[in-house]
Each structure stands twice: as structure tokens, then as C-alpha cells.
Amino acid sequence: MPKHVLRRVMTATAAAVGTLALGLTDATAHATPSLDYVALGDSYSAGSGVLPVDPSNLLCLRSTANYPHVIAARTGADLDDVTCGAAQTSHFTQAQYPGVPPQVDALSADTDLVTLTIGGNDNGTFINAITACGTAGVLSGGKGSPCKDKHGTSFDDEIEADTYPALKAALRSVRAAAPGARVAALGYPWIMPAAADPSCFLKLPVATGDVPYLRGIQAHLNEVVERAAKETGVTFVDFSGVSEGHDACKPAGTRWIEPLLFGNSLVPVHPNALGERRMAEHTMEVLGLS
């Protein structure tokens, strides 16, 4: 090849390589960084009972298929999951177990996104109400409203007097620790159906008249989560509509929540894998995440 032709080829090649390198540098400079995502919350956030279990901390019974992991996988976010089964609002700022530090310690000024589900364990709201009403339902043969007759407004009174201010304090601690983050507080998907289902009694032994009573307690809890979220500048993710028809009385493959008895999870009255996925999808829709 003549020298002058060779020089032209070499010059053209060098220019092409330079242009490509410049393009790659420019693309790298303008690439969207992944979200710095921290997941907080209780067993509904942790996905307790959903396999596989995260081996990094067995005390928290955290699943690697919980809704935070689903969100991270679908968005490419960099996830720090500190969710923990049995967590209460106090565990945002206090250690839950030895070796399990306060959850807000995972937050920083660099955090972009925070999700959480919290409040259901305060005052033992879920476990006490379900246990009390389940026991009363068995003793009454599923008739009447023995749980409501005995406990009246006591669960609602605790939610209003104790859980509501605790939620506001917890959410304020999140906002203070991650001032630039978008924070989403998720409500709890329906556990009970809208009306009593006699065919469900073996799975959820709640008396006919106590089904609306228990559902009302959960509705009140979700309402104070929403109220606390609005008052602290946090996005509330409402599941009251999308989880209708997916309660614990529904068959496997439809229900998002496992029943108290004869379910498919070691942790009853908690979301199954389908429920965790649907919680993730609805949260992404509300937050506009892709």
C-alpha cells in the first residue's frame, strides 16, 4: 500500500477511535446513577415467611423475595434492606436486638429512596386483635360478635392514642436522617374480606359479627399511617383498593395474605410471595418508578 494511502487510513482510524472514546465518555458522564434505596419496616416489609430467607440476619426473618428486593431488581436500585420482623416504630431509633441497630442508622444524606411498612406491631395491634377474635370465634362457634362485645374500642383507642403519635415521630426521624430522599409509607393490604365468608372459618376462625370489627381496626391503622405520612411530607401508598378481593380468605394464587390456619407459610396472616410482588408493583406505580 502506498505510504500516502496508509497515512490516510491511519488518520481516519485514529479519528474514529477518538470519536468513539469521546462518545463513550459522554455517555458515561450522562448515565443515570442507580437509586440509593434503603428499605425499613416490619415483617410486612421484610417478607417474613416468604422463601428464600436472607441468611445475613436470621433474627429478622427477612426474605430476599420481599417487596424491597422486587423493587430493587426492577429498577436497578442499590438496595440496603434493614427491614426486620416484629419491628415497631421505636426500632427506627432504638436497637431491636443485639446486632440489629436502629433502622434509621442505614440512612444518610445520599439516600434517594426509602420505603417502609410500620405501626402494626405497636401495642400488639395485629397479633392481639387477631388472637383475641380468633379465640372468641372458636368459643362462640363463629356466631355473633364476641370479640367486639368484649374489647369494644380498646384496639382503636390504642391506635389513636399511641400508634399515631409514634408513627409521626418515626417518620420525622426518617426525614431527618435522609433529608433528600423520597419516602414512601405503605399501608397494610386487607387481611379480612369486606363481609363474613362462612367457608373461611376454618382458615380464619373469626365470628361473623367480628369480621367487620377486625377489618375496621385495620382500616383505622391504615388511616393513621396515611395521616402521619401526610403530616410529615411522606408519600402514602394505599392498598385498600388494589388488595380488595385478595384477603386471607381467598384461595392460593389469589390471596396476597396467608390465613391463620391451613395456609402455605410458616408466618400466618402475612403477605405471601404474590402479595410481596403486588406490593412492590403498586408502590412502583404510585412513585412513578420504572
Distance CA 85, CA 78 (A): 22
Q: What is the 3-state secondary structure (H, E, C) of the chain?
A: CCHHHHHHHHHHHHHHHHHHHHHHHHHHHHCCCCCEEEECCCHHHHCCCCCCECCCCHHHCCECCCHHHHHHHHHCCEEEECCCCCCCHHHHCCCCECCECCHHHHCCCCCCEEEECCCCCHHHHHHHHHHHHHHHHHHHCCCCCHHHHHHCCHHHHHHHHHHHHHHHHHHHHHHHHCCCCEEEEECCCCCCCCCCCHHHCCCCCCCHHHHHHHHHHHHHHHHHHHHHHHHCCCEEECCCCCCCCCCCCCCCCCCCECCCCCCCCCCCCCECHHHHHHHHHHHHHHHCCC
Which residues are catalytic, by number? 43, 270
The CA distance from 257 to 271, in Å, is: 4
